[in-house]
Amino acid sequence: MALSKKMESALNEQIILEAYASFLYLSMASWCEQKTLDGCAEFMHRQSDEERMHMLKLFNYVNEVDGHALTPAVKQAPHEWPSVQNLFQQVFEHEQKVTKAINNLVDIALQEKDHSTSNFLQWYVDEQREEEALMRSILDRIKLIGDGPQSLYYIDKEVRAINTRAQQGPAGGK
């Protein structure tokens, strides 16, 4: 079944969102490097690469089903955050926004009776659940560590450990 115009344009919108996420996280990696938060920088680089993979997966799907995948115009991501705590809060909120967008895409696929796209999107539904859980667990750790004098050291150490686990575990092998 060919992709409807409505579905095609909604998937192209999602390509823009995933590309933005990739650049947003790359910008965050750069900010972390400036602050010598190397564990956080590694984490954000890996997230950035994952988002590029999410974008390409959509891109390839659109062309596979005879649509036209469009290279996105990406708006400028911010370069500064008031704190590493705020940075991770922003990541969590961005992932919540992406989850809403994915759910909306599934709704469109169902309205269009496009079962192939609905099926394809289930991978993203699972991915978003995992991503939100991961970000929530980082925010919980950050809260536990608090903002004492050595908190940045411990946050960075913790995020590095979470990143290593994400690389090795089932959620990291995506």
Please report, to the nearest 10 degrees, the dihedral formed by the alpha carbons of residues 114, 116, 119, 120 taken in order. -110
Task: Give the residue closest to ligand OFO by C-beta.
Answer: 54
Q: Which of 51, 114, 156, 158 binds ligand OFO (CB under 6 A)?
A: 51
Q: Which of 8, 18, 114, 158 binds ligand OFO (CB under 6 A)?
A: 18
Query: What's the min distance (Å) between Cβ of 64 and ligand OFO?
Result: 19
Q: Read off φ and ψ for residue 16, nearest 5 degrees.
A: -65, -45
Q: Which of 12, 24, 45, 54 binds ligand OFO (CB under 6 A)?
A: 54
Report if residue 58 touches ligand OFO, rule: CB under 6 A: no
Question: How many of the other CB atoms lie within 10 Å of CB of 87?
Answer: 21
Q: 93-112: which residues touch ligand OFO (CB under 6 A)?
A: 95, 98
Tell me the two tokens of residue 72: 């996105």
Q: Which is nearer to ligand OFO, 21 or 32 (CB)?
A: 21
Q: 106-165: which residues touch ligand OFO (CB under 6 A)?
A: 127-128, 131
Q: Which of 15, 21, 41, 155 binds ligand OFO (CB under 6 A)?
A: 21
Query: What's the min distance (Å) between Cβ of 172 and ligand OFO?
Result: 13
Q: Dihedral sign, CA of 134, 140, 143, 144?
A: negative
Q: Which residues bind ligand OFO (CB under 6 A)?
A: 18, 21, 51, 54, 95, 98, 127-128, 131
